[in-house]
Structure 1
């Protein structure tokens, strides 16, 4: 449905056709990308080269070649990285769920992803502006992870980070449903039976989650 958000596995965002397909379906995405993905800065604008008088008329093009996303983040500088709580861990702590708060440093830039497929999709107009999110821990000389997103330009940094780190939460919930609540215990052969089983396990997991969130961190740690 339009306006939905989707977070996908690491490096799936390197495929421009995949990102374009998500956009065509009205989905807001946060996709992992590698350092080889290239882009233009947000303020870059295409210009029309002078006509030589021979051949076809020139089309708008960016005067400078696209840069790798890692270079763009490093050019922004370590000082542009901001500490953000990326998630809550599994050890007891002061987090909302009673677990330890885990922080890292992140850089968020507005960029224009480049590439042949994107240029064809934009039909000669300027490349679309997207979010580039990079994790740059304080103990690292360079950024270590990168994501690309089409979330609105007004999206706060903590929301970008939470969306990028959503994969860990999904995997953690799935493990809990499978190991503690019996998601993998169904042995039937019918779709209605499987559907009922998954529904009941999901309801049980939602109940357990609400119970944890309603308790104070001290109560959760002593349980």
Structure 2
């Protein structure tokens, strides 16, 4: 968040959250001891409980891409929440301190994305995202599911282009090796995505156009 990087990250079903409209309450100070800190007085619920309580009728069907066996689709729900837990509170307090202010006890909002396949008895996957609240659910799902592409690319880097074949003994050599493998992968990706020329006179991308001499 502090770096301004958007994310959709997979989480476990026991991660706890508050409703997005929950607000911390500061009890009145009696005059003795430390002043009470603002806290959310209602106990947070796990994302699994939240999704199950809403029921499968709250989920909508979303298609995110075409697979080898047809359209990839399932049922999803997106809801605004405030992630809870000690670690989240500490991070929020540290962020407020870094800005030179005092933490008011308000936890940051996020979007909870849940997948509940039609034939499953309960939700199967959960994600948290800091993308804007008005991000369409189809975009959230597409971003969450793009992990398969990353895993495919890594497998191609490792087995097809030799990422794990380095046998040197220096960081410089390792970085040279990774750079060359990455460049090769970028070239192959560009070739895969480039429009295919039907004839010799068809338009093509610069990288797939043969060089000519005058």
How many Å separate the matches in 1 of 2:165 and 2:87?
45
Residues 27, 193 of structure 1: alpha-carbon distance in 2 compared, 3 angstrom cutoff = same
**How far does the alpha carbon of each residue in 1:123-170 deviate from its partner, in whole angstroms, 9 at most, with x for none?**
343221111111111111211111122222232223322332333222
Task: Name whichever of 181-190 and 74-83 sits farther off.
Answer: 181-190
Aligned partner of 2:82 in structure 1 is 112
- TM-score, with structure 1 as normaliser: 0.68
Residues 173, 101 of structure 1: alpha-carbon distance in 2 compared, 3 angstrom cutoff = farther
Q: Of 114, 118, 134, which residue of structure 2 is paired with 1:154?
A: 134
- Three-state SS of the structure 1 residue aligned to 2:183 is helix
How many Å separate the matches in 1 of 2:11 and 2:171?
36
Residues 51, 203 of structure 1: alpha-carbon distance in 2 compared, 3 angstrom cutoff = closer
Residues 101, 194 of structure 1: alpha-carbon distance in 2 compared, 3 angstrom cutoff = farther
Q: Of 187, 209, 213, which residue of structure 1 is paired with 2:189?
A: 209
Is the CA contact 1:108–1:131 (under 8 Å) kept in the aligned structure 2?
Answer: yes
How many Å separate the matches in 2 of 1:64 and 1:155?
28
Task: Name whichever of 173-182 and 117-126 sits farther off.
Answer: 117-126
Q: 1:45 offset after TM fit, Å? A: 2.1
- Aligned counterparts, 1:80-95, within 5 A: 80-87=58-65, 89=67, 91=68
Q: Of 137, 143, 146, which residue of structure 2 is paired with 1:166?
A: 146
Q: What count of residue pairs does the alignment treat as equivalent? A: 186
Residues 211, 84 of structure 1: alpha-carbon distance in 2 compared, 3 angstrom cutoff = farther
Structure 1 gap segments, 5+ residues each: 1-22, 94-99, 217-223
Q: 1:174 offset after TM fit, Å? A: 1.3
- TM-score, with structure 2 as normaliser: 0.71
Residues 34, 190 of structure 1: alpha-carbon distance in 2 compared, 3 angstrom cutoff = closer
Is the CA contact 2:117–2:123 (under 8 Å) kept in the aligned structure 1?
Answer: yes
How many Å separate the matches in 1 of 2:166 and 2:89?
49
Larger Rg, first or second structure (1 or 2): 2
